[in-house]
Amino acid sequence: AQRVTQPEKLLSVFKGAPVELKCNYSYSGSPELFWYVQYSRQRLQLLLRHISRESIKGFTADLNKGETSFHLKKPFAQEEDSAMYYCALRYNTDKLIFGTGTRLQVFP
């Protein structure tokens, strides 16, 4: 079955430190991967998608089909990056399969 795994529930770093939020997926075909973010008291919103290959707010993510991973990275974390991050997979149909999320805390 298709699954998205985010192994860390909580990731805490200091401002300026590098960040890597891990995401692994299980799917034998060619999936489409996304990162969604939810800031405090805000709705879930798209951060980036792998087909765009763009950097948003300094975040990047590369799809590694060999390792079935789509880790989210940022070289220098900012306090405003503190939020809940969800990795999601879309395949065949249009529905999204989400991981359980990782809470990123960036301390000053």
Partner 1 sequence: DTGVSQDPRHKITKRGQNVTFRCDPISEHNRLYWYRQTLGQGPEFLTYFQNEAQLEKSRLLSDRFSAERPKGSFSTLEIQRTEQGDSAMYLCASSLAGDTQYFGPGTRLTVL
Position among 33, 72, 88, 104 found at the interface with partner 1 (CB under 8 A): 88
Position among 61, 74, 83, 101 found at the interface with partner 1 (CB under 8 A): 101
Name the minimum Å distance from CB 60 to partner 1: 18
Binding of residue 17 to partner 1 (CB under 8 A): no
Q: Write the burial class of residue 24 (CB in 10 Å: 0-12 exposed, 13-18 middle, 19+ buried).
A: middle
Contacts with partner 1 by CB under 8 A lie at 4, 9, 36, 43-46, 49, 86, 88, 93-101
